[in-house]
Structure 1
Amino acid sequence: MMKMENAKDESGFVDSLEKLLKQCQGTGAHIDELGACVYPPQEISKMKQAVEVIEGNVDEFEAEVERLQSSSDAFSGACGKLRRSIKHMETELDKRCEDEVVVEMQNVTLGSYKSLDFFAIFL
């Protein structure tokens, strides 16, 4: 992405980077909130809200990077993988009651959500 910078469009480039930074910081806060929700008492409604915001932010990240014409296959692949993980999480949250979520969350390992690791690139 850095190679896209040039003197003519420097302000637009910087604005895009600032926008991406703010989106990533906001997403990080929602990821923290989602993580806090897995501890008792699990709050499914807050989990769903956080997941929805994260999903929307992924769409915005990808659109902004594509607008800069610097999107890579690896970045698009990471976004796609994260979207699939989010959809799976939404499906599981929709079909479970609070008690089932408590039991399931006790079995979650950090490796289950590795696709969230791509946010570490930006944070």
Structure 2
Amino acid sequence: MKALKAFLDFLVISYIVFTVLLLTSVLNENTILDINSEEQVLLLYKAIVAVGGVIMFARLLANHLYVADLKHEQHLAQLKINGLKADLYEKRQEFRSNSYRPQAEEPEAEVRLLKQA
């Protein structure tokens, strides 16, 4: 997705440069495209506008898909973090419940105390 986005960005920049050079008469459409009449020049400009619209729309869609993909990856990472936090909480609770047992539960300690008395 990132490669498609980069390619479309390059395509948009090259389109803009070509259009600006054509409109400022640095590039002459008569010599480049062998255009002789006013109708052909008008058709060329209509084609340039149509191609520009399609390129911009494709770029808009690619950017939207790229952002949606990033949000999905972030959501999956957040779910994984929440799962790890839940596991850690359960392990802490298990550790706390095991380490704070009263000593009366150990039968050997009671036997030793009774023998000493």
On whether the aligned pair clears a TM of 0.5, the verdict is: no
**Normalised by the size of structure 1, how large is the TM-score?**
0.36
Instruction: Choose between structure 1 and 2: higher helix proportion.
Output: 2
Between structure 1 and structure 2, the one with the greater Rg is 2
TM-score normalized by the length of structure 2: 0.38
